[in-house]
């Protein structure tokens, strides 16, 4: 399965519309997201893939290869056994780290 098929399958399984996923990914140009799902954008950025996988509550491995890695399975089990409040904190930390990485990449490009 191509990444576009994995995105569509995962999105539909969660009962999300394309528009809802575009909003959740914070990919402001929803056309970029739609191009990825329609397989019109052959090389999506890693930032887009991370944003989509985060919005779909799956790993990048799952999104690209349609399978979970052993490490991912372990982490999911550990996180799922935490109280909901702690799970939310981990989500916020992950999102923050992702944003920091994106900002650092943008700074590198501009130097």
Residue 100 and residue 21: Cα distance in Å, rounded?
A: 22
Q: 26: alpha, beta or left, given left = phi > 0 and alpha = psi -120 to 50? A: left
Q: 58: alpha, beta or left, given left = phi > 0 and alpha = psi -120 to 50? A: beta
Per-residue pLDDT of the chain (111 residues; tens, 9 = 90+): 688 888 888 888 888 888 888 888 876 554 565 666 666 556 777 888 888 888 888 888 888 887 765 666 677 778 888 999 998 999 889 888 888 988 888 888 887
pLDDT at position 8? 86
Are 28 and 84 in contact, with CB atoms under 8 Å apart? no
């Amino acid at each position: 399965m191509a990444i576009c098929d994995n995105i569509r399958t995962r999105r539909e399984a969660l009962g999300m519309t394309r528009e809802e996923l575009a909003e959740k990914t914070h990919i402001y140009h929803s056309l970029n997201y739609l191009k990825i799902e329609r397989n019109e954008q052959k090389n999506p950025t890693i930032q887009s893939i991370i944003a989509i996988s985060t919005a779909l509550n799956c790993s990048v491995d799952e999104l690209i290869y349609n399978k979970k890695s052993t490490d991912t399975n372990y982490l999911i089990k550990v996180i799922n056994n935490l109280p909901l409040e702690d799970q939310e904190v981990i989500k916020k930390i992950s999102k923050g780290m992702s944003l920091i990485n994106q900002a650092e990449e943008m700074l590198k490009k501009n130097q």
